[in-house]
Amino acid sequence: MRKTLLLLFFSTCILSVIAQKTVTQLVKDLEGHPQQDAQRVDKLIDLSFHVFFSNSERRNFATEALSISEKINYTAGEAYALACIGYYKSLDGNVTESDSMLKRALSLAQKLDDPNITGVVFYKMGGREVHLGNNEEGMGYLFNAEKILQNSGNYKRLALCQASIGNYYQTNLSNYPASMEYLLRALESAEKSNAPEMLFYAWDGLSYLYLLLGDYENALSYLDKAAEEVKKAGADIGKTPLLNDRGEIYRLTGKYPEAIADYKESLKRDNSIYSANVFESNLADVYTRMNSLPLAFQYGFSSLAKANQIQDYNQLGWIHGILARAYLSKGSADSSILHARPAASVRRSPFARRSATALSRPHSAR
């Protein structure tokens, strides 16, 4: 543990001296290069991976990058853009279209024989499979991506991949030692990449890990570190997953009114279907704990419909578990069993899922 704390300390010290552009400055940089060329595509692709833009903004960056790349026959830009858009298509539930785009991206990456592109495509394919509940296949893609990006020395993308692996270990597989290992790897890679925004992703992951471990003091400490990175970047979007995470701490420590306030603020800030289903399920759990069953069922069934629509199978297990407990509190044993069965069929953590903005910034991806 002492070695771990020292690593965290030195990572913080080194990264604190790295210049960090605010999101406003990054947008101005893009606006300063309106030419429809490879340089603009590269800027767009970089922004499509940036953790301090919303999923919709990142998708828009990738969509423009794809359009320009196809016009100017920029194969590398096309491959990157297809990988990004293909991943987001899976979040929308468009699995067939997602599969097609990711396969095209992989084909172009193999044609170019560029390990950086191949690593990114595998990373996106891994995130897609994990989101669809195919944890073993998804983690296989992610490990391949890590190896490729490590060998190519692309530490910025490597940090993103390792942080995502760490987050998936904790939220999908409940393997907390492995999660800690990968989040520390992400910190080290972020240091080498001179990408301060990646420090946010690692701190955020560590905060949630300590939350799951029941160490709420450390959870809040790392949450504050992540919030500091958000402040430096002037990134309003980064506040949403942090609000949700703070709500988790309040929920698990019995501070239900505070948890509800943070969850509702998260929902107000990001009501996209793949985030709203998480925030609503968290609200359903709190209301179940408070025995406010009408509200528990209201948010529970609303989140269930959204999770079904986007085929988020891991999330479905969590929601069915909440509804099973709510029906048990109501005294409806048959309905409780009806929901307990699908809940038991999904191997997952007994804690709330994180939003897609947290895992996919991975969502946040995370």
Mean pLDDT, all residues of the chain: 86
pLDDT at 359 (0 to 100):
36
Q: pLDDT tens, 280-339? A: 999 999 999 999 999 999 999 999 999 998 888 778 999 999 999 999 999 999 999 999
- Find the CATH number of the domain harbouring 290: 1.25.40.10
Collapsing DSSP to helix, strand or coil, 35 comes out as coil
Domain stops at, among 86, 113, 129 = 129
- Is 185 part of any domain? no
- Is 104 part of any domain? yes
Q: What is the pLDDT confidence band of residue 352, given thresholds at 50, 70 and 90?
A: very low
- Is 192 part of any domain? no
**Backbone phi and psi for residue 351, each to the nearest 5 degrees, phi listed first:** -105, 170
Burial class (CB in 10 A: 0-12, 13-18, 19+), 265: middle
- Is 297 part of any domain? yes
Burial class (CB in 10 A: 0-12, 13-18, 19+), 153: exposed
Of 10-14, 90-94, 209-213, the poorest mean pLDDT is in: 10-14
Tokens describing residue 172: 């999908």
Q: Global pTM? A: 0.73
Largest interatomic CA distance in the chain:
65
- Residues whose CB is less than 8 angstroms from the CB of residue 243 and which lie 6 or more positions away in sequence, other chains included: 262, 263, 265, 266, 269
User: Which of 24-28, 220-224, 291-295, 356-360 reaches the highest mean pLDDT?
Assistant: 291-295
Classify residue 38 by its DSSP letter: H
Q: Is the pLDDT of residue 167 over 50?
A: yes
CA distance 12 to 9: 5
pLDDT at 238 (0 to 100):
59
pLDDT at 351 (0 to 100):
46
Q: Is the pLDDT of residue 228 over 80?
A: yes
Q: What is the pLDDT confidence band of residue 362, given thresholds at 50, 70 and 90?
A: very low
pLDDT at 232 (0 to 100):
84
Q: What is the mean pLDDT of residues 258-271?
A: 91
Q: What are the Cα distances from residue 264, in Å, to 50, 241, 274, 281, 362?
A: 25, 12, 15, 11, 23
Counted domains in the chain: 2
- Is 15 part of any domain? no
Share of the chain above pLDDT 90, in %: 60
Q: pLDDT tens, 56-71? A: 889 999 999 999 999 9
Domain stops at, among 100, 129, 158 = 129
Q: pLDDT tens, 27-83? A: 999 999 999 999 999 999 999 998 888 788 899 999 999 999 999 999 999 999 999
pLDDT at 121 (0 to 100):
96
pLDDT at 212 (0 to 100):
87
| Dihedral sign computed on CA atoms, order 236, 287, 258, 173 | negative
- Is 148 part of any domain? no
pLDDT at 357 (0 to 100):
37
pLDDT at 8 (0 to 100):
41
Q: What is the pLDDT confidence band of residue 106, given thresholds at 50, 70 and 90?
A: very high
CA distance 131 to 125: 10
Which domain does 44 fall in, by range? 25-129
Write out the DSSP string of 212-257: HTT-HHHHHHHHHHHHHHHHHHT-GGGHHHHHHHHHHHHHHTT-HH
- Is 171 part of any domain? no
- Is 134 part of any domain? no
Domain stops at, among 107, 129, 151 = 129
More confident residue, 238 or 108: 108
More confident residue, 347 or 158: 158
CA distance 286 to 204: 22
